[in-house]
A and B are shown apart, each in its own frame.
Chain A
Amino acid sequence: MDTFIVGLIAATLRVATPLIYGTLGELYSERSGVLNLGIEGTMFFGAFVGFAAADATGSLWLGVLAALLGGMLAGLLMAFFSVRLGVNQHVSGLGITLLLTAVSLFFFRLIYGEPRIPPSIRSFDQLQPFGNLPIIGPITTQYALTYISFLIIPLAWWVLYRTNVGLNIRAVGENPEAADAAGVNVYRVRSYALMIGGGLMAVGGAFLSLAQLGAFTYGIIAGRGWVCIALIIFANWQPAKVLWGALLFGGVFALQLRLQSTGLNLPYETFLALPYVVTIIALAIAGRNATGPAAVLKAYKRE
Chain B
Amino acid sequence: MNAIEMKSITKRFGPLVANDHIDFDLQKGEIHALLGENGAGKTTLMRILYGLYHADSGQILVDGSPVHITSPKDAIGWGIGMVSQHFTLVSPLTVAENVVLGYNKGYIYRPQEVIQNVTKAANQFGIDVEPSAIIRHLSVGERQRVEILKALYHNAKVLIMDEPTAVLVPQEVDILFQTLERLRKDGLSVIFISHKLYEVMTICDRITVLRDGKKIGTVLKNDTSERELARMMVGRETFGVYRQGEQKAGNPLLRIENITAVDKKGLTALKNVSLNVYEGEVLGIAGVSGNGQSELTQVLSGTLKPASGKIFIGDKEITNASPSEITRAGVGRIPEDRHAGVVGELTVAENLALESIEKFTRRSTLDKRLILKNAEQLISEYQIKARPTDPIRTLSGGNMQKVILARALSPEPRVVIASQPTRGLDVGATEYVRTKLLEQRNRGAAVLLLSEDLEEVMSLSDRIAVIYEGQIVGIVPGTEATEEQLGLMMTGARQEVKQHG
Contact = CB atoms under 8 A, between A and B. Distances in A.
A2 interface: no
Interface residues on A, range: 20 to 34
A180 B52 CA distance: 9
B109 A163 contact: yes
A182 B104 contact: no
B5 interface: no
B90 A174 contact: yes
B72 interface: yes
B88 A182 contact: yes
Interface residues of B, number: 33
Interface stretch (B95-103, B197-205, B291-299, B485-493): B95-103
A15 to B, nearest CB: 33
B101 A179 contact: yes
Interface string B84-120: 1001111111000110111111111111000000000
B97 A175 contact: no
Given A181-B88, A182-B103, A184-B101, A164 B150 contact: no
A149 interface: no
A170 B111 CA distance: 14
Given A168-B101, A183-B76, A185-B73, A178 B154 contact: no
A179 B102 contact: yes
A244 B98 CA distance: 31
Contact of B98 (A164, A166, A182): A182
A290 to B, nearest CB: 14
Interface in A165-219: 165-168, 170-171, 174-175, 177-185
A269 interface: no
B59 interface: no
Contacts of A116: none
Given A162-B109, A165-B107, A175-B90, A183 B53 contact: no
Contacts of B89: 175, 178
B179 interface: no
B93 A174 contact: yes
Nearest to A162: B109
Interface string A139-174: 000000000000000000000011111111011001
A171 B107 contact: no
A296 to B, nearest CB: 13
Contacts of B84: 181
Interface in B73-89: 73, 75-76, 82, 84, 87-89
B266 to A, nearest CB: 12
A182 B150 CA distance: 8
Contact of B110 (A162, A165, A182, A185): A162
Given A164-B109, A168-B102, A183-B154, A178 B90 contact: yes
A161 B110 CA distance: 9
A114 interface: no
Contact of B93 (A170, A181, A185): A170
Most B-side CB within 10 Å, residue of A162, A174, A182, A184: A182
A166 B84 CA distance: 25
B71 interface: yes
A218 B97 CA distance: 46
B137 to A, nearest CB: 15
A177 B93 contact: no
A88 B348 CA distance: 27
Contact of A182 (B52, B91, B101, B107): B101
A175 B88 contact: yes
Contacts of B102: 168, 171, 179, 182-184
B64 to A, nearest CB: 23
A164 B91 contact: no
Contacts of B110: 162
A183 B72 contact: yes
Contacts of A294: 91-92
A171 B72 CA distance: 16
Nearest to B264: A288
B54 to A, nearest CB: 10
Contact of B88 (A178, A185, A303): A178
Given A168-B101, A182-B98, A183-B72, A174 B91 contact: yes
A166 B88 contact: no
Contact of B73 (A164, A170, A183): A183
Given A179-B101, A181-B82, A303 B53 contact: yes
Contacts of B150: 182
Most B-side CB within 10 Å, residue of A162, A170, A181, A185: A181
A75 to B, nearest CB: 20
Given A168-B102, A179-B101, A181-B72, A163 B108 contact: yes
B188 to A, nearest CB: 19
A282 B276 CA distance: 46
A108 to B, nearest CB: 39
B174 to A, nearest CB: 26
Most A-side CB within 10 Å, residue of B75, B76, B92, B154: B92
Contact of B109 (A167, A177, A179, A180): A167
Contacts of B154: 183
Contacts of B87: 178
Most A-side CB within 10 Å, residue of B82, B102, B104: B102
Nearest to A177: B88
Nearest to B75: A183
A166 B73 contact: no
B101 A302 contact: no
Contacts of A165: 107
B108 A167 contact: no
A198 to B, nearest CB: 21
Interface in A64-122: none
Nearest to B83: A181
B107 A163 contact: yes
Contacts of B108: 162-164
Contacts of A185: 71, 73
A210 B100 CA distance: 43
B82 A179 contact: no
B71 A183 contact: yes
A148 B153 CA distance: 40
A170 B92 CA distance: 9
7 contacts: A166-B109, A167-B104, A174-B91, A174-B93, A175-B91, A180-B52, A184-B101
Q: Which 6 A-B pairs have the closest CB atoms?
A: A183-B102, A178-B88, A183-B73, A182-B102, A181-B88, A184-B102
Given A170-B93, A180-B88, A303-B52, 8 more contacts: A162-B111, A164-B104, A167-B93, A178-B98, A179-B90, A181-B84, A183-B75, A303-B53
Interface of A: 161-168, 170-171, 174-175, 177-185, 294, 302-303
Interface of B: 50, 52-53, 71-73, 75-76, 82, 84, 87-93, 97-98, 100-111, 150, 154
